[in-house]
Amino acid sequence: MSNRIDRKFAELRQAQTSGFMAYITAGDPTLEATTRLVPALADAGMDFVELGVAFSDPLADGVVNQLSAQRALAAGSTLVGVLDAVRRIRKTSEVPVILYTYLNPLYVHGFEKFHEEAAEAGVDGILVLDLPPEEIDANQELMQRHGLKSIRLIAPTTPTARIERIAKSAEGFIYYVSREGVTGERSAVADSIEAQVSKIRRYTDLPIAVGFGISTPEHAAQVARQADAVVVGSAIVRRIGEYGTASDFVERVTHFAKPLIAATHDSRRK
């Protein structure tokens, strides 16, 4: 079933360019602020947004995103609140929304109930960080429903046979984690991205988004020449932490993101 993710990647293919995907923690500094920031970033050219569901034990995240989750939780962010924020975003924006979450909040809420409510709210895809494909295959209640795309992760350490298995069960796009370890800004992008992306393409026709460690326009341009989408998280999240109490918070974060967006879009046109 086609949704906003598929349509946006089709547009990007037609334009012969890569897409820009921003990660932000929903509710940092507040859920109301998130509902203003996402449409502003979309107006600035952001093609997709990953909305992180704040969780008290974010094991895949580095310190910047951990602190962001703490701020969101302290501000009262909940899974129900995040879905309500998506509903408000949908009043003004059709940007594809991917929820980036851990299994625990979904399990507590109820998996079937969550998928139904997420689809109704306007979510397009779900990326569950700590839910391996084997668990989905073994537990029928964990199967995604309601047309939401089930996004899968592949890492530099993923064996070839497992890459093939993950690629077969993925939907929407593949998220390639370009570095081992947790999220965070880096001084340079990984040298192995081109080879790894080429390897993944042997097993899927899905678009490939690359993230982890991308923090400058130069990084974004370099990765965009090899991938279908560039994911920038910690660099944006750090600015949210710095500017979150300012009256012009949305404008400042958007101003920071614009050169990253431009570098991503322009990389294949040169």
Among 50, 117, 124, 171, the active-site one is 50
DSSP string, 234-268: HHHHHHHHHHTTSTTHHHHHHHHHHHHHHHHHHTT
50 is an active site residue: yes
Tokens 């009262």: give the residue.
76
Query: What amino acid is encoded at 241 in this protein?
Result: G
61 is an active site residue: yes
Q: Distance of CA 168 to CAs 103, 174, 203, Å?
A: 21, 10, 8
Short-list 49, 44, 66, 48, CA closest to 57: 66
Are the beta carbons of 178 and 187 closer than 8 angstroms?
no
Query: What amino acid is encoded at 180 in this protein?
Result: E
Among 28, 47, 61, 185, the active-site one is 61
| H helix runs in the chain, sequence order | 4-15, 31-43, 63-74, 79-89, 103-109, 111-121, 133-138, 160-169, 193-201, 217-224, 234-243, 249-266
Where in the sequence numbering do the catalytic residues fall? 50, 61
